[in-house]
A and B are shown apart, each in its own frame.
Chain A
Amino acid sequence: MTFNSVSYFLFLPAVYLVHLLVPDRWRWLVLLLASYGFYASLKAPYLPAVLLAVTALSYACGLRIASQTDEADRRRWFWSGTIACVAILALLKYLPFLEAQATGFLGLGSALSFTIVSVGVSYFTFQAISYLADIYLEIEEPERHFGRFALYLAFFPKLLQGPIERAGDLLPQLREPFRFDSAAMRAGLLLFARGLFKKVMVADRLAPYADQVYNNAHDYTGLAVMIGTYAYALQIYFDFSGYTDMARGTGRLFGINLTENFNRPYGATSIADFWRRWHISFSRWILDYIFKPLQMAWRNRGQAGTAAALVVTFLVSGIWHGATWGFVIWGLLHGIYLAASTYYRPYQKKAHKWLGIEKSRLLRWWQVFVTFNLVSFAWVFFRAKSLDTACTLVAHLVRGSSADTLRRLLLLSGRDELVVLLLSAGVLTLYERGGLGERLPAYPAYARYVFYWFIVLGILLYGKLFSNSLFLYQAF
């Protein structure tokens, strides 16, 4: 069951209704059962068991860390819990890759007789690790109510793709009694609709362009590769931010505010700025739990230590996305971008000041353009099915492409589909950047209702609701 499936459109109102009808003290149970049911619907029967194991493990370790007075014991419990979580994640996510590498190297056949699905595992294990770290660092108190703690890890809107919630943000909200608020409900539904709009009107319409180029890498060169890559850059943004909007919208229906994960990332003026705007809950996580400890450990090495910490942090980020060389290179590229910026940034600022262009709009556009292209270049390795494909596409970038190839690519889904795609992107821009979302509540009732109907009917009639497409980040 995914957020854009018919079953979810039946599941969500049913859970909401039951949640509304039961007394406050049982609401956590309704949400917990719904969350495990939602997870079980993925038809990988071991996944809810893994979730339960990580929950029990981190719950027990959290209590143990808090109850110890001796620092060595606290550290021991923290590391035991963390290593166990990482081991579970590694076992599910990286075992097939390691096995394939080993059997390939030894020239043997695979011993794995089935595909291991690890949807959601990296999100809840990261959340469990951050919980243990926050208790160890005495930022948070451990949660003593097992059911509520289990819900903190399993809450279904954020289970498959995040946001990765901190204990300090989510647990207090789960303890609060639920109060029905029509304004919150309306806001939640609007957020959900916006996310669905992003997914089925824009992201799924961009997918064929990226798929066509990346699945036929040998046939495309120059501008055609760029079109495919830009299409993917936009597809992954609309897909992932669409999912986050739907998760946040669903959360809001239940009185829970989940973390915002995106803040117009392609408007970033540098790679550092991009990571402050892209997958915010994840970048905060790697910053706090990987980069900062590494930077602290290597502080004696000055700028080189910071640069090395950045490279290692983003290398881990790449590996977190999956066990392929493409993700490793993608992570390394971002690490190198950021590490390089620690060296040139001070000189760049001085140069801009000397030229008197620090506040120039043209400079800002140029920076946005360069950042977007650097990010898009890294997406090539992220999207390509293999390193060979990625290298082919990069090599093809410098070659020319015929007008006929470009025309065929642009009209891949037909002229009408291209018009719908552009119009949908226009509506989203008007809503988000034009401030329509903020101004809407002040509009007369008729105008508001027309807007709501327009979005709902637009999604129903023009959205790719029956395309059976999964959300891209579900794979991570």
Chain B
Amino acid sequence: MIARRVISVLWFLLAAVTCIVLFEGLLHLYNPNRSRLRNGKILLPANQTYVFTNTDIPKIEKRIVHSKNSLGFRGPEIPARFGEYLSIIVAGGSTTECFYLSDDKTWPYLVGERLKGAYDKVWVNNAGLDGFSTFGIIPLLHDHITRIRPAYTLFLLGANEIGRKGDNAADKDKMAPSSESVSILKKVKNESELFEFARITWNNLAKRGGRKIGHHPLDLQALSHVNIDQRAIDAQLDVHRKAYIPGYRQRLMSIIRMCRENGIRPVFITQPTLAGKGVDASTGVNLETMVLEDGSSGLMEWKVLELYNDTLREISRENAVPLIDLAAAFPRDSRYYYDKLHFDIEGSRVAAAMIGDRLKEIIAGDDGRLPGEFRRGDGDGNVRHAGSFPAQ
């Protein structure tokens, strides 16, 4: 009896090993849950829904539903007659992705809703990815956005560019592992699809259980204050100007070139932040002297970010790329942010209104003045001009 049981258990384990080997092979052919890149290609989290239970941040919803379509973006699927639509993809980092806002509360979604008042058919997808910088956006553009060829692509850039010479952890997370790994264990860890599956499942379970919201609310009243000397600020700006800005300029030029080669109209958006000059309108807290988590002051952080925003402004001007200067226009008021960078529900609504209205002007300005640039098929072999979307 015991021997039979032991044999049965052995068969059971052998069957398990057989299936593990089989599925490891099948997963190498197709792994629907993979969220990083292999062989230099970005793999987006397609057809995913994340549900978060938020108890930490009062200015956003308690239950957040964040879903990705089959492209791995937030928003509707590609419509059948794509060419008939005013198609827009929005790329950027977490300020764009609005990771902790539900689908219908994100500013790209609300921009789409706003444009629907002016155009018959509007398709907006949010390709923002938490932590993504231009290092990740360039392959995203190359591998995904240029294949879709939307009429416009909006890039909200800035915060994730600061002090970046190479791809950051968030970019890497969605990129191919490097071949530097030498130990067998590391190789198995990097190459095994089953291991990757276990990691993602764990992350999904953690997210679904509402165990952690990755962002933390900023309690302005609890912050200490400091006055940083102007010379220290200038020295810091000098470091960024010499070490990081030239590379950033080059990457922006690559984005412009790639868009234009593929008939996509790029639109740049500068990055707003709560940190900076003056006091917070809602709490009266001094936003210049507040000490942020990295020890810098609000003023210093804003000046550094403005350096990158200025670069974006210059590149836009030099290359005739439309710019939405959200950093300059967006009110520096904590009622619109849940931390120093990310919009709360109200902030998302205000940003959508500003971006949407400016975008309408940009699109109206393009109407009929860009011969051939936006011509594309409507899926039935007919070609029409994107500038002549039927207005309501």
Contact = CB atoms under 8 A, between A and B. Distances in A.
B15 A449 contact: yes
B208 A466 contact: yes
A458 to B, nearest CB: 8
A453 interface: yes
Contacts, number: 99
B48 A466 contact: yes
A222 B76 CA distance: 22
B70 interface: yes
Contact of A467 (B47, B80, B377): B47
A138 interface: no
A462 B32 contact: yes
A226 to B, nearest CB: 14
B253 interface: no
Interface string B202-237: 001100110000000000000000000000000000
Nearest to B51: A468
Contacts of B77: 208, 211-212, 412
B19 A461 contact: no
Contacts of A469: 49
A453 B20 CA distance: 9
A449 B12 contact: yes
A186 to B, nearest CB: 13
Given A6-B205, A405-B80, A466-B48, A445 B19 contact: no
Contacts of A445: 7-8, 11-12
B16 interface: yes
A405 B33 contact: no
B103 to A, nearest CB: 12
Nearest to A406: B80
A467 B49 contact: yes
Contacts of B47: 208, 413, 417, 464, 467
Q: Which of under 10, 10 to 19, 20 to 34, or 35 or more describes the interface residues of A?
A: 35 or more
A216 B48 CA distance: 21
A468 B66 CA distance: 11
B208 A6 contact: yes
Contact of A461 (B23, B82, B205, B208): B23
Interface string B1-19: 0000001100110111011
A110 interface: no
A76 interface: no
A419 interface: yes
Nearest to A466: B204
B70 A208 contact: yes
Contact of B380 (A215, A404, A419): A404
Nearest to A416: B30
A13 interface: no
A416 B31 CA distance: 9
Contacts of A446: 11, 14-15
B27 interface: yes
Nearest to B80: A219
B204 A457 contact: no
A420 B78 contact: no
A457 B15 CA distance: 12
Interface string A389-423: 00000000000001011001100111011011000
A457 B20 contact: yes
A414 B201 CA distance: 22
Contacts of A420: 30, 32
B78 A408 contact: yes
Nearest to B85: A219
A453 B204 contact: no
A405 B11 contact: no
Identify the interface centre among A216, A404, A417, A452: most chain B CB within 10 Å of its CB: A404
A181 B30 CA distance: 39
A211 B70 CA distance: 12
Contacts of B33: 461
Interface in A435-476: 445-446, 449-450, 452-454, 457-458, 460-462, 464, 466-469
B379 interface: yes
Nearest to B193: A461
Contacts of B20: 457
Nearest to A405: B80
Contact of A219 (B16, B27, B79, B201): B79
Given A446-B14, A446-B15, A466-B49, A216 B205 contact: no
Identify the interface centre among A446, A452, A467: most chain B CB within 10 Å of its CB: A446
A453 B15 contact: yes
A412 B70 contact: yes
A220 interface: yes
Contacts of B19: 450, 453-454, 457
The 6 closest A-B pairs by CB, nearest first: A449-B15, A453-B19, A219-B80, A416-B30, A468-B49, A445-B11
Interface of A: 6, 208, 211-212, 215-216, 219-220, 224, 402, 404-405, 408-409, 412-414, 416-417, 419-420, 445-446, 449-450, 452-454, 457-458, 460-462, 464, 466-469
Given A404-B381, A446-B15, A453-B18, 11 more contacts: A208-B47, A219-B80, A224-B80, A402-B381, A404-B377, A420-B32, A445-B12, A452-B15, A457-B19, A458-B23, A466-B204
